[in-house]
Copies of this chain bind each other. A is one copy, B any other.
Amino acid sequence: MNILSEHACWGGVQRFVTHDSRECAAPMRLAVYEPPQARAHAVPVLYYLAGLTCTDETFTIKAGAQRLAAEHGLMLVAPDTSPRQPRIAGDDASWDFGIAAGFYVDATVAPWSAHYRMYGYVTRELPEFVAAHFPADVRRQSIMGHSMGGHGALVGALRNPASYRSVSAFAPICAPSRVPWGEKAFTGYLGPDRDDWRQYDASALVEQAPFHSEILVDQGSADQFLAGQLRPELLADACRRSGQGLRLRMQAGYDHSYYFIQTFMPEHVAWHAAALRASG
């Protein structure tokens, strides 16, 4: 692990680090916030997965979450949104595929399959890495995300319910198999067989096996991507059919930005903190 920078923040420390990822066979950046409580004992971990075009810095700079993590005694872990090197031909040809658009899948199509393994990176490698290098109790962890990262958080939790106490999302891509962003990414990373896409589609997964507790989703009504890319109604329908608890809140007038995210972040962090405090 290489520490890029560290900053005192709300009595704790905000760090930016890089490490060599086994899953991605690439160096990966991430941001880790250690709350003041971590000086005395290992603390639970809350992961945040960011959206298209974002980096490990986006949430860290814009979401106002360190204050809340310090209040609740949680570590915040925000990985980058894709590998960035070694470079692959075409990886920056569009903003919604390749660099900063890993879509939290393990690619099976060459050349992406060599490095674009963000699903395994987030769900398998990252908890091990965090446990090895930080005062974290990864038996207690939860996950949230925004947009593409909301999709990643939902998929990670639905496929690994024993790993996460709780899951929430801001404006997630709820049914990626059925919207342009997801269709482009899944075709490129996974190939044309739509059966292979179901393992990365929250609205499909939730019908196979619900999560063990209620899912929290906030969605702005003025979000420019709501009808075309996000489609929370498809997740709501699937949850209804499978008996999955879903607290889907339409937030009047809010858009897709971090001005929306920061407004509702306190309720998301409190939601996760309550689950992480529970015994078990």
Q: Which residues of A contact B (CB under 8 A)?
A: 7-11, 14, 61-62, 64, 66-67, 220, 222, 251, 253-255, 257-260, 262-263
Which of A9, A10, A257 has its CB near the most chain B CB atoms (within 10 A)? A9
Could you tell me the distance in whole angstroms from the C-beta of A263 to the nearest C-beta in chain B? Answer: 5
Asked if A9 and B260 make an inter-chain contact with CB atoms under 8 angstroms apart, the answer reads yes
* Alpha-carbon gap, A253 to B39, bound state (A): 15
Asked if A259 and B7 make an inter-chain contact with CB atoms under 8 angstroms apart, the answer reads yes
Interface SS majority for chain A: mixed
Could you tell me the distance in whole angstroms from the C-beta of A8 to the nearest C-beta in chain B? Answer: 4
* Alpha-carbon gap, A259 to B66, bound state (A): 9
Which residues of chain B come closer than 8 Å to A253, judged between CB atoms?
A: 8
**Selected contact of A9 from candidates B10, B66, B262, CB within 8 Å:** B262
Top-4 shortest CB links A-B: A9-B259, A7-B259, A8-B253, A64-B64
Which residues of chain B come closer than 8 Å to A10, judged between CB atoms?
A: 262-263
**Selected contact of A67 from candidates B254, B255, B262, CB within 8 Å:** B262
Which residues of chain B come closer than 8 Å to A62, judged between CB atoms?
A: 61-62
**Selected contact of A260 from candidates B8, B257, B260, CB within 8 Å:** B8
Contacts A10-B262, A64-B64 given; 8 further ones with Cβ under 8 A?
Answer: A7-B257, A7-B260, A8-B253, A8-B254, A8-B255, A8-B259, A8-B260, A64-B262
* Alpha-carbon gap, A112 to B251, bound state (A): 47
Could you tell me the distance in whole angstroms from the C-beta of A136 to the nearest C-beta in chain B? Answer: 20
Asked if A7 and B255 make an inter-chain contact with CB atoms under 8 angstroms apart, the answer reads yes
Could you tell me the distance in whole angstroms from the C-beta of A60 to the nearest C-beta in chain B? Answer: 9
Which residues of chain B come closer than 8 Å to A258, judged between CB atoms?
A: 61
* Alpha-carbon gap, A258 to B67, bound state (A): 13
Q: Who on chain B is nearest to A60 by CB?
A: B259
Which residues of chain B come closer than 8 Å to A11, judged between CB atoms?
A: 263
Q: Who on chain B is nearest to A62 by CB?
A: B61
Q: Who on chain B is nearest to A58 by CB?
A: B61
